[in-house]
Amino acid sequence: MNRTQRFEFFERLAADNPVPETELEYTNAFTLLVAVVLSAQMTDAGVNKATRALFAVADTPEKMAALGLESIRAYVATINFNNIKAKNVLALSEALIRDHGGVVPADRSALEQLPGVGRKTANVVLNSAFGQETFAVDTHIFRVCNRTRLAPGKDPLAVELKLEKGVPAPFRLHAHHWLILHGRYTCKARRPECWRCVVADLCPFKPKTPPPAAHANGAGADA
């Protein structure tokens, strides 16, 4: 995909969704960090269901640490891999208190030193909490970037570096959210909804999936 096509690609996504936002519920940088740590191999809806009650009683590192491991584990019992994730939430809370005065650092290197925090998590926090132009490549973004040839790469880091180099300036802040939402709801893994995709003509993916029969016949039923 050339520079002109990339600009058109993001211009259309922006027109379709002018103010994209993460679907994780959070109130501050700390609760966002915890939500993202909990979100691995989970839907955002599943994470939100667990964290509403948790964040109501623990929205700072100090409050989270005071809960203790067993209480945190009870709050996140419905989360996949809840045992290790509860340990990470407690450990990162303690690390923030010990090393950062209870404040989430706006620095990738410092974030990646926290328990349970990798590059993708750090990028999400830097983008959504601190307004930095980062590109967190999850499975949705990896699929979209390879399928559309927007930023093809053999692994998430390769895709991230191509996005860093190739996303046009006006779209850099929100690019992560446009791509993840596009992958989640339109450019799906098993059956991409090419028939309603706003960038279908810019995408070389073959074969394009046709609309369900109801849509093709004008009935308007959901897929």
Q: What does the pLDDT read at residue 215?
A: 52
pLDDT of 206: 86
> pLDDT: is 150 or 40 the higher one?
150
Q: Catalytic positions, please?
A: 120, 138
Query: Alpha-carbon distance 162 to 37, whole Å?
Result: 25
Residue 145 known to bind ligand? no
pLDDT in tens, 53-98: 999 999 999 999 999 999 999 999 999 999 999 999 999 999 999 9
Task: Consult the annotation and say whether 187 binds a ligand.
Answer: yes
pTM summary value:
0.88
> Which pLDDT belongs to residue 163?
97
Q: pLDDT tens, 154-179? A: 999 999 999 999 999 999 999 999 99
Mean pLDDT of 129-157: 96
Pairwise pLDDT comparison (52 vs 222), residue with the higher score: 52
Res 27 pLDDT > 80? yes
Cα–Cα distance list, 17 to 11, 62, 135, 181 (Å): 10, 37, 18, 10
Judged by DSSP in three states, 56 sits in helix
Q: Compute the average pLDDT of residues 5-12.
A: 97
Q: In degrees, to the nearest 5, what angle opens at C-alpha 185 toward C-alphas 143 and 222? A: 135
pLDDT at 1: 87
Domains in the chain with CATH codes = 29-128 (1.10.340.30)
Contact predicate 186/170, CB 8 Å: no
Distance (Å, whole) CA 89 – CA 68: 10
Average pLDDT, stretch 36-54? 94
Q: Could you identify the residue written with the tokens 């259309």? A: 12
Evaluate whether 46 touches 79 at the Cβ level (below 8 Å): yes
Name which of 51-55, 125-129, 203-207 the model is least confident about: 203-207
The contacts of residue 123 (CB under 8 Å, 6+ apart) are: 108, 134, 135, 136, 137, 160, 176
How far apart (Å, rounded) are the C-alpha atoms in residues 42 and 205?
A: 27
Banded model confidence at residue 212, pLDDT cuts 50, 70, 90: confident
Structure tokens at 83: 């045992």
> Between 7 and 220, where is the model more confident?
7
Report the mean per-residue pLDDT for the chain: 93
Q: What is the CA radius of gyration of the chain?
A: 19
Residue 106 scores a pLDDT above 90: yes
Nearest to 43 by CA among 73, 21, 60, 22: 22
User: 41 Cβ partners below 8 Å, 6+ apart?
Assistant: 80, 81
